[in-house]
Amino acid sequence: MESYARSTRKAAYCYLELFAGPGSYSCSEMNCSLEGSGLRVLKTGANFTRYGFLTPQKTIADNLQSSLASMGKDQLQIMVGNPNNPRTLIRFIDNIPRSASSLAFIDPGGYRRLNWKTLEILAELGKNRQGQKTDLLILFPLEMALLRNLARPECAPSVTRFYGHRRWEELKILKLSSQSEDIKPRLVELFKNGLSSLGYKYVEDFKPVAPTHDPYYHIIYAGDTVSRLKQIKKAWGRPRFLRCELLYGIQKEKGKI
């Protein structure tokens, strides 16, 4: 977010988070806690004009409210509701000044919870006065959810809602008929093509670090400004270590030298 904000300093910019989680998460294996995305964003130097968090549960909203209260941000809104409900989403978007641009971080926790219609509404109603759409940063749950459920008949309606069409079924047939065809890149491309059809000029996907296996999810960016895409690309190439990761302690010691 700090890197991203460097390309937005000259204009009012809002940060939006759909499916917002609690202020922190506990890690039982390492006996520690990790800050949630909302708290981490507020702690960066990215001084957004306004922060909006939409969460589906009141208990999560209360937890997030108590975690963010100490940050001293005046323009902060936490709203409870289903992001896939058009009325709820429109009320959430209406809090964005039309003079401002915005970035929406979307982590649905699986494909079942995200409807394509939600992205259509964000792209259309989130435009600023210059006609620039809301930038999207989406966690695309490829290995962790989508791929393993693709061939299950009971999951077909939710996959269709996720993509907004049934063209994904061609890839399901290919997966069932071939042992060698890797459809994972094509599943990602199909989703990216949908974002391009919404009018986004720049659509890119990024893989998390996964040294021993395929990444469980991709990060997909969609926006209308090339400078913001360049900032994300530049930031994504830098190594980062969480406290629960094996090399965190080593890197921390190196930082003291």
Dihedral through CA 46, CA 50, CA 56, CA 60, nearest 10? 60
Q: What pLDDT sits at residue 46?
A: 74
Q: How far apart are the first and last CA of the chain?
A: 26
pLDDT at 44: 78
| Residue 248 reports pLDDT greater than 50 | no
The CATH code of the domain at 2-256 is: 3.40.50.150
Task: In whole angstroms, give the CA distance from residue 26 to residue 102.
Answer: 30
Q: Is the pLDDT of residue 255 over 50?
A: no
| pTM (two decimals) | 0.86
Question: Which has more pLDDT, 109 or 89?
Answer: 89
Segment 33-55, tens digit of pLDDT: 788 888 888 887 777 888 899 99
Extents of the domains making up the chain: 2-256
- Residue 142: what pLDDT? 87
By the 10 Å C-beta count (0-12 exposed, 13-18 middle, 19+ buried), 99 is classed as exposed
Q: What is the pLDDT of residues 180-209, one digit of tens each?
A: 678 889 999 999 999 999 999 999 998 876
E-state strands within the chain: 13-18, 24-27, 32-35, 50-55, 76-80, 101-106, 135-140, 202-206, 218-223
Residue with tokens 């809090």: 95
